[in-house]
Amino acid sequence: MRMMMKAKMDTTTASKAIHEGRMPTVMQSMMEQLKPEAAYFGPEGGQRTAFIVFQLDDPSQLPMISEPLFSELGAAIEIFPVMDRDDLERGLSAIASRS
C-alpha cells in the first residue's frame, strides 16, 4: 500500500546529528530502505520535516522504518495511506458504479 510518512525532527537532536555528521547517513539509509516514490524536506511548525511517499508491503516493516528516526533524530512520526490521482479516479469510479 502507498503510504506517506511525515517525520518532524527534534531541533536539538537533529542539529546535533548534523554537526556530528550522522544526519546524511541516517537519511541515506532510510532512502535506500524505502526506495520512495517521492521525498520532500522542509520546515513545518518550525521543525525540520520529511514527507516521504513509499510502498509498505508489510506492517512489520514499521519498526525498522521508524526506529532510526526516533533514536537518531528524535522524530515525531506519522504514517498514513495516500492515493495518487489514478487511485482516486478508480476509487471514485467504483463508488459511482454502485449508485
Q: What is the pLDDT of residues 89-98, one digit of tens each?
A: 999 998 888 8
pLDDT for residue 99 is more than 80: no
Question: Distance between the two ends of the chain, CA-based, in angstroms?
Answer: 27
pLDDT at 62: 94
Q: Which CATH architecture has domain 2-98?
A: 2-Layer Sandwich (3.30)
For residue 77, the tally of other CB atoms under 10 A from its CB is 17
Sequence spans of domains, the chain: 2-98
Q: What is the pLDDT of residues 51-69, one digit of tens each?
A: 999 999 999 999 999 999 9
CA dist 86 → 15, 55, 66, 82 (Å): 39, 16, 28, 12
CA 31 – CA 20 distance, rounded (Å): 20
pLDDT, one tens digit per residue, over 9-43 is 999 999 999 999 999 999 999 999 999 999 999 99
Q: What is the pLDDT of residue 98?
A: 81
pLDDT value of residue 64: 94
pTM here is: 0.88
